[in-house]
Structure 1
Amino acid sequence: MTTPRINFLAVFVAAVTTFVLGAIWYITFQTPWMELSGVTEAQAAESDPVSAYLISFITYLLGAYALALLFKSMQVSTLQTGALTGALIGALIVGGNIFTNNTYELKPIGLSILNAGFSAVSYAAMGAILGAWQKK
């Protein structure tokens, strides 16, 4: 069995891009997210953003790496196919898990839509980068 040739720079760029998209997404939807999640201004002020940022970046890095491995086995090698495949994974697999978990946790459907929407957008972006930027 041969080890797939992964473009680690593309994986890193995909993770950084997702991190930036997350900042844009959640700054844009900050007020509805806080209302839907029940997080107050006081709680947000007391939280440790460094831990949250670190955990986010690590999970984005792992997700991009997993997507790169999957794309190698599926022979995804274009921006369009990568974006579509990423969007489907983000919306239907990751987003589906978000909806399921939030349903059992009795969280509002609007929160599920907001968070699953980010998953669809972020995985589409990661997929576009990884699909287009193949290691030769």
Structure 2
Amino acid sequence: MDIVINPLAVALAALSTFVIGGLWYSLLFGKRWQRAAGVTGETLRTGSPRVVIGSFAPALVMAASLAAFIGSGGALLGTAAGLAVGVTWISAAFGTNYLFERRPLILFVINASYNIVAFTIMGAIIGTMQG
């Protein structure tokens, strides 16, 4: 089996997580997320370049892994695979951790739903460009 990975698709998919995250954690759910996570605006301003640069590497790893999984399956498979990964692997893992850490349900909902949307969009981008 040949593994198909389009580097441009991976880069765009990784970048899409920043666009989605920017909207998710500011305009859409910013205040509720800050309260639930126990962070302040001041905390978020500290070390922002390090956080943004540091989070791009994992975004690339996630996108590359998803690209290898999707292969040349096309947009529909890519979208479905991204949705499945977000719902089953990522959200289920978060859910277990959040239960043991006694984190608020709203924090789980905000973070899990971000990942569901982000992985679905990443899958759609990758599937479209590799298919």
The answer, yes or no, to whether TM exceeds 0.5 is yes
The sequence identity of aligned pairs, in percent, is: 32
3-state SS, counterpart of residue 90 of structure 1: helix
CA shift, 1:40, in A, is 2.4
TM-score by length of 2: 0.91
Alignment of 1:44-123 (within 5 A): 44-45=44-45, 47-72=46-71, 77-123=73-119
Residue by residue over 1:49-94, the C-alpha shift from the partner in whole angstroms, topping out at 9 and shown as x without a partner, is: 112111221111110000011112xx5x221221111011012111
2:31 aligned partner: 31
Unaligned runs of 5+ in 2: none
Paired residues, number: 130
2:125 aligned partner: 129
CA shift, 1:35, in A, is 0.7
Unaligned runs of 5+ in 1: none
The structure 1 segments of at least 4 consecutive aligned residues displaced by more than 6 Å after TM superposition are none
TM-score by length of 1: 0.88
Alpha-carbon separation, structure 1, partners of 2:3 and 2:20:
28
Quote the RMSD (CA, aligned, Å). Answer: 1.6
Contact residue 4 and residue 67 of structure 2 kept, 8 A: no
